[in-house]
Amino acid sequence: MESLKIFSVLLLTTTSSFVALSAASRWSPPPPPVASAGYTCDKYPAICTVAGSVNPNCCKTCVNLNKDNLNCGKCGMQCPSGKQCCKGKCVNIQKNRSNCGACGYTCLNTDHCCSGICVNLKTNILNCGVCGNKCGLNLNCCDGEIVNLLTNKKHCGGCQNKCEKGNACSNGMCDYA
Ligand SMILES: *[C@@H]1O[C@H](CO)[C@@H](O)[C@H](O)[C@H]1NC(C)=O
């Protein structure tokens, strides 16, 4: 009789601690490791993809292979100075038409990228014909050529304003001989 009583107490204790244990594991699952808790992604690569991680890829630390200049496209791939990592490729954003001035900024139509700005080389007075070719004072850019509108027979008074054959251009007007 006495041993039966002890047995029931033991059973009760075991059962209640089992219930407590399963309740605990049901309501508080172990949290995923996070970088701030001192975990490194070389041991736990998953920490880079956990919600709240600023960067999704693991190169010893969490990085973004799409835009990290020290890990561009793959771990350890360093962009040379003057180049920027755009979508995992090192590009010169001063010159690249598809990434002009910033990653993903694409120049329209036939525009070129000069010093990180999209320009029309045919008409731009700071970049006439080629990047950096500046028109001097009172000069203009027509068809990518630096011209003086006051005297140029093909661009007299304005771009494409052609003087008739034999006529000169003076003061921006075609003379009649
Ligand atoms: C411009 O950048 C793209 C990547 O967005 C690259 O594929 C292309 O080769 C670059 N062009 C030049 C001229 O460097």
Q: What is the mean pLDDT of residues 143-147?
A: 97
Q: Measured between alpha carbons, how far is 177 from 173 in angstroms, rounded to an integer?
A: 12
- Is the confidence at residue 24, as pLDDT, over 80? no
Give exposure, 57-68, as e/b (b: 16+ Cβ within 10 Å).
bbbeebbbbbeb
CA 103 to ligand 1: nearest atom: 5
| Confidence (pTM) | 0.70
Q: Is 31 exposed, middle or buried (0-12, 13-18, 19+ CB in 10 A)?
A: exposed
Residue predicted with more confidence, 177 or 138? 138
Q: What is the mean pLDDT of the chain?
A: 84
| Residue 144: both structure tokens together | 């990518």
Kindly report the protein residue whose alpha carbon is nearest to atom 5 of ligand 1: 98
- Is the confidence at residue 151, as pLDDT, over 90? yes
79 contacts 72 by C-beta, under 8 angstroms: yes
**In this predicted structure, what is the pLDDT of residue 31?**
58
Kindly report the protein residue whose alpha carbon is nearest to atom 13 of ligand 1: 96
Q: What is the 3-state secondary structure (H, E, C) of the chain?
A: CHHHHHHHHHHHHHHHHHHHHHHHHHHCCCCCCCHHHCCCCCCCHHHHCCCCCCCCEEECEEECCCCCCCCCCCCCCCCCCCCEEECCEEECCCCCCCCCCCCCCCCCCCCEEECCEEECCCCCCCCCCCCCCCCCCCCEEECCEEECCCCCCCCCCCCCCCCCCCCCEECCEECCC
Task: Write out pLDDT tens, residues 95-124.
Answer: 999 999 999 999 998 999 999 999 999 999
Find out whether the beta carbon of 86 lies less than 6 Å from any atom of ligand 1. yes
Q: Where are the domains of the chain?
A: 121-176
Find out whether the beta carbon of 84 lies less than 6 Å from any atom of ligand 1. no
Mutation test residue for ligand 1: of 66, 83, 98, 114, the one with most atoms within 8 Å of CB: 98
**In this predicted structure, what is the pLDDT of residue 162?**
96
Task: Write out pLDDT tens, residues 51-66.
Answer: 888 899 999 999 999 9
Contacts for 89-92 with beta carbons within 8 Å, 24 or more apart? Answer: none
- Kindly indicate the confidence band of residue 4, based on its pLDDT and cuts at 50, 70 and 90: very low
